[in-house]
Amino acid sequence: MPTDVGNLECLETYINTCSRIHALYAETDVVHAIVGGDFNCQFGSRFYDTFVSFSVASKLELSDIKRLVDVFTFCSDNG
């Protein structure tokens, strides 16, 4: 998933990526599926509303969003 570097392009890329994942769900006959990964989004972030809309439209259950409060999912060796 794209990261938020503060420009309009990264927001457009994030929306486009969510749309592409949603299209995969819409075009398949799969009954159950798991989407795992870091969506580079947290409550209150610029991507959050897009992420929530995507998850509702795709009928996804956000299983761990409440468990990841004030935690990091990535730590750079450079920082």
Each residue's pLDDT tens digit, 29-61? 888 877 777 787 777 888 889 988 988 888 888
The per-residue pLDDT for 65 is 65
The per-residue pLDDT for 27 is 87
Domain boundaries, the chain: 8-57
The per-residue pLDDT for 33 is 78
The per-residue pLDDT for 19 is 92
**pTM: predicted TM-score of the whole model, two decimal places:** 0.69
> Is 79 in a helix, a strand, or coil?
coil
Rounded to 10 deg, the angle between the 48-57 and 8-26 helix axes is: 10
| CA distance between the termini of the chain | 21
The residue ranking higher by pLDDT, 64 or 7, is 7
